[in-house]
Amino acid sequence: MSYAELEALGRKLESIDHAIAILSADEATNMPVGGGEKRAESVSYLHGLRHETATAPQIADWIASAEAEDLSDDEKLGLREFTRVYTNATCLPADFVRRKSQAEMRSEQLWRDLRAKNDWAGFAPALEGVVALAREEARMRADVLGLAPYDALMEQFDPGNRMADVAPVLDKLKAFLVDFVPAAIEAQQRRHAARPLKTVQGPFPMERQRELGLSMMQALGFDFTHGRLDVSHHPFCGGVPTDVRMTTRYRTDDFLTALMGVLHETGHALYEQGLPKGLSHLAVGQARGMAMHESQSLFVEQQLAHAPQFWQWAMPIVSRHLGEDALAGWDIEDVVAAVNKVERGFIRVDADEVTYPLHIILRFELEQALIGGDLEVADLPEAWDAKMTEYLGLSTIDNPRDGPMQDVHWPAGAFGYFPSYTLGAMIAAQQWATIEASQPDVLEHITRGNFSTVNQWRSDNIWTEASRHSTPDLLQRATGKTLDPEIFIAHLKKRYG
C-alpha cells in the first residue's frame, strides 16, 4: 500500500515539524540569550532532516503506485496535495537551493545592518543577487508547473492564485483607494472635529492586560487545552494545532496595541485549532496558505474587532480588567475611533485597514516587474518613490530605509508573498458578507459576545476544509463567488466613508 507509505512519511514529517515549531516558539519566549548558538544548530539540523525526508527519491515511486491504488475520495485529495507539495519541494536542483539559501541569509543579515544605517548603495548589490536567484527560481518552477514565472512564485504561498485573477482585483481596489484615502481622511477630520480623539491614560499593568487578553481569547473560542499565550518581542502564532503558541507584547501606557495583537493572532490560532485532527500528518489536513490564514486573523481583527458592535460587548470587559480610572472616561466611541484611525504613512506594518492595501499593491507591481525583468534593483528607489507619491502622496526618494529597505521579505528572497496580506483582508470581508447574508442577527450576537455562529460558519466552510481545495476554490465554495473587490470596497465605504 503506497498511500499507507505516504501516510507513514507524513507522520515522520509531522514529528519533525512539531519539534521545529515548539523549539522555535520556545526560542522566542523562553530561551536564555546564551542558548542561541546550539539552538540554531539543532533547528538547522532538523530543517535539513525535514528537507531530506520530504524529498527522498522513493517518494516519487510511492506517489506513482498510490495513483494506481483504489483510493477513497478523501485519499485522492490527500494524494493530489501530497504530489503538489512534493513537486514543489523537489523541482529545484539541490545545489541551487543551497546557493539561494546562502545568498538570502547573507542578504538578510546585511539588510539588518544597513537598513539601520539607511545605506541603500551598500545593500543594493546583495539584493541584486537575491533578485537574480528569484528570477531563476521563478523560471525553473514555471517550467515544471506549467505556469507563468510570477504565478509559480505565488503558488508557493497560495496554491491556485494566478495573476490573471489577482491583478484585475487589485487594480480595481487601487483605482478605488487612490481617491478614497483622501476622502476617508477628510471624513475622519469631520468626525474628530465633532468628537475629538482622547488620549488614554493608563498605566495598564502587564498582568491585567494579560488577563484581559486571555478572557477575550476564551470568549472568541480559543481552546486553552490546546494552546497558550506568552510574551515575545515580535508577536506571532506558532506551535502546532494541538499546542498553539500565541504571543503578544505589552506596553503599560497603551492597552490597545497588545489587545489588537492578541485578537489578530487568535484568528490564526482558531484556524489551526479548527483543522481536521485526523489529517494533521498530511498536507491536505493543514492550513490552506498565507492568504487564507491571514483572512482568519483579519476576520477577527478587522471584521469583528473594528466594529462598534464588538466593543459594545468588549468595553465592559476592558473596564473590568483594567479599571475605570486607568481608562479615564474612554468610551466605546473612543475605542472605535482609535482602532479605525486612518493615516498616510511610509511603513506598511504600521498602516491601517484603508491605506494598507496601497502598500501591498505597490510591492505587488514592483515585484512583478523585478521578476519579469522589467525593473532592475538599481532603479528600485525611483520606482518605489514614484508609486508611493502617486498612491499615498509621500516621497521616499531621500529615505530608502522607509522605502524599498523597510521590509525583510525581498532581502530574504520572499517574492510572491506580499499579495497574500491584502487578499486575506478581502477574503475576510467576503466571508463576513456571506455570514451576514445568511445570519441576519449576527451583529446582535456579536454585541452579546456570542461568536459561536461565526465560528460555526468558519469551521464548516474554512477550517475543516483544510487544504482539500485551492485557495480560489475554497473561497468560491465558502462564499459562492470568486474574489469580488466590490465587497471589500463596500466594507471600507461603510466603515470609513
CA distances from 151 to 21, 136, 276, 397 (A): 28, 14, 29, 30
Q: Is 45 in the site for a copy of itself (CB under 8 A)?
A: yes
Residue 18 annotated as lining a ligand binding site: no
Question: Which is closer to a copy of itself, CB of 98 or CB of 139?
Answer: 98
The answer to whether 8 contacts a copy of itself (rule: CB under 8 A) is no
Question: Per CB under 8 A, which of residues 163..202 are in contact with a copy of itself?
Answer: none
Please check whether residue 468 is in contact with residue 284, taking contact to mean a CB–CB distance below 8 angstroms.
yes
Shorter beta-carbon distance to a copy of itself: residue 38 or 192: 38
Binding pattern to a copy of itself, positions 213-252, x when CB under 8 A?
Answer: ----------xxxxxx-x---------x-xx---------
CB 40, min distance to a copy of itself, A:
10
Amino acid at 264: H
What the block records as the C-alpha cell of 170 is 487589485
| Contact residue for a copy of itself among 4, 15, 102, 189 (CB under 8 A) | 15
Helix/strand/coil for 417: coil
Q: All 3 cell numbers of residue 8?
A: 507513514
Residue 80 is a binding residue for a copy of itself (CB under 8 A):
no
# chain residues binding a copy of itself, by CB under 8 A: 36
- For residue 397, give the C-alpha cell: 526618494
Q: Which CB atom, from 269 or from 342, has the smaller least distance to a copy of itself?
A: 269
Among positions 7, 28, 39, 176, the unique one binding a copy of itself when judged by CB under 8 A: 39
Query: 191 or 226, CB closer to a copy of itself?
Result: 226
280 binds a copy of itself (CB under 8 A): yes
- Tell which one of 46, 163, 369, 412 touches a copy of itself (CB under 8 A): 46
Q: Are 430 and 307 in contact (CB under 8 A)?
A: no
Write the CB contacts of 206 (distance below 8 Å, at least 6 apart in sequence). 250, 252
294 is known to lie in a ligand binding site? yes
Q: Which is nearer to a copy of itself, 26 or 128 (CB)?
A: 26
Residue 16 in contact with a copy of itself, rule: CB under 8 A: yes
Pairing of strands 227-231, 243-248: parallel
The answer to whether 47 contacts a copy of itself (rule: CB under 8 A) is no
Q: Please calculate the CA angle 110-111-112 and round it to the nearest 5 degrees.
A: 90
Give the residue, chosen from 5, 42, 140, 185, that forms a contact with a copy of itself under the rule CB under 8 A: 42
- Contact characters 106-135, a copy of itself, x per CB under 8 A: ------------------------------
- Is 491 known to sit in a ligand binding site? no
Partner residues linked to 244 by β-bridges: 227, 239
7 binding a copy of itself? (CB under 8 A): no
Interaction between residue 41 and a copy of itself (CB under 8 A): yes
32, three cell numbers: 536564555
> 317-356: which residues touch a copy of itself (CB under 8 A)?
none
Q: Does the protein bind a copy of itself through residue 212 (CB under 8 A)? A: no
265 is catalytic: yes
* Of 449, 451, 201, 235, nearest in space to 322 by CA: 201
Of 11 and 117, the one with the shorter C-beta distance to a copy of itself is: 11
The distance of closest approach from Cβ of residue 211 to a copy of itself in the complex, given in angstroms and rounded to an integer, is 15
Nearer to a copy of itself, 32 or 146 (CB): 32
List 35, 168, 196, 323, residue binding a copy of itself (CB under 8 A): 35
User: CB neighbours of 6 closer than 8 A, spacing ≥ 6?
Assistant: 59, 62, 63, 66, 78, 79, 82, 282
Sheet holding 237-240, edge to edge: 227-231, 243-248, 237-240
Could you give the C-alpha distances from 281 to 284, 383, 459, in angstroms and in order?
A: 9, 44, 19
Q: Which residues are annotated as a binding site for Zn(2+)?
A: 264, 268, 294
Residues belonging to the active site? 265
